[in-house]
Amino acid sequence: MTELVVRRLLVDMQAPIARHWCGGDAFRTALFNALSMSFPVGEQFFIDSVRKGLNALTPGEQARFRAEVQGFMGQEATHRRLHSLYNAHLEQLGLVNEWDARARARLKLLEHAEVRHWLAITAANEHFTAILAEFLLRNPDLLGDQDPRLATLWLWHSAEESEHRCTAFDLYQALGGDHEWRVRWMKRITTIFLLDTLRQTVLNLRRDGTLWRWSTWRSAASYLFGRRGLVRRTYRPWREYFRRDFHPGQQDASASHRWLADHAHQYVPVGA
């Protein structure tokens, strides 16, 4: 079992967020802001999934998972809280979060679904966040240096996503979840996640008045498809998930360990 530490991040989320906080780049700012908008609703669902999963286990298995699940819930709850403060600043900038309502409507359809569906959806999303996290931890300069507080927030969140990447997956397997459904949900989540990200990013750019600027599209092309591009760098780890013998623990998490060790002055472990 993984030991998951809950950390209180020492950043000031009261100070406002600049319009193009991410290196002055409209596209990257809009993309990160879009992802932030999805977190409060998404992370609440992940918390509910692992809680449900834990309750569905036998008492012996519950004892094995309890501490890890509590750590997972604590980490996601902290992410939610800080990203809610972040998102309130985005509202002040005139951005409108449409992703949240769409996700809530979709999750309503799952209300009575079996717990393994919840966990397969959570595990797929967690794989996405873990590979994005690893990408970000290896390319921290893409966050720019205009707002060190937000760069720290994204890297801390990334480090913890990488750290707890096995929890939902292990619960799914402990409850007898099979390979076919795991893969089926990954395909669906990939489509939903990419479309939602695209829609919210475009909406953010439109509200920002920068959607039709040449510099926006040039940045999008290079950030997504360039030599160090997000799509190019994450395609392979994304595909790994479809292997029958895949386990998230096989993926490299050294960048996460390194960040947490090098930035211990920027957080306080809770309950330590």
**188 contacts 13 by C-beta, under 8 angstroms:** no
Question: Rounded to the nearest whole angstrom, what is the least distance from the CB of residue 36 to Fe ion in the complex?
Answer: 11
**Residue 79 in contact with Fe ion, rule: CB under 5 A:** yes
Residues 144-173 that bind Fe ion (CB under 5 A): 161
- Which residue's CB is nearer to Fe ion, number 18 or number 107? 107
- Which residue's CB is nearer to Fe ion, number 147 or number 161? 161
Question: Rounded to the nearest whole angstrom, what is the least distance from the CB of residue 161 to Fe ion in the complex?
Answer: 5
**Residue 7 in contact with Fe ion, rule: CB under 5 A:** no
**Residue 20 in contact with Fe ion, rule: CB under 5 A:** no
Q: Which of 65, 56, 77, 60 is nearest to 175 (CA)?
A: 56
- Which residue's CB is nearer to Fe ion, number 100 or number 222? 100
Helix 26-56 vs helix 167-174: crossing angle, to nearest 10: 30
Question: Rounded to the nearest whole angstrom, what is the least distance from the CB of residue 79 to Fe ion in the complex?
Answer: 4
Amino acid found at 78: T
**Residue 127 in contact with Fe ion, rule: CB under 5 A:** no
Structural tokens at position 239: 């595909």
Instruction: Specify the stretch interacting with Fe ion by CB under 5 A; choose among 70-78, 98-106, 145-153, 172-180.
Output: 70-78
Q: What angle do CA 146, 148, 151 make, to 5 degrees?
A: 100
At 110, phi and psi to the nearest 5?
-95, -5
Cα separation, 41 vs 229, in Å, equals: 28
Binding positions for Fe ion, rule: CB under 5 A: 76, 79, 161
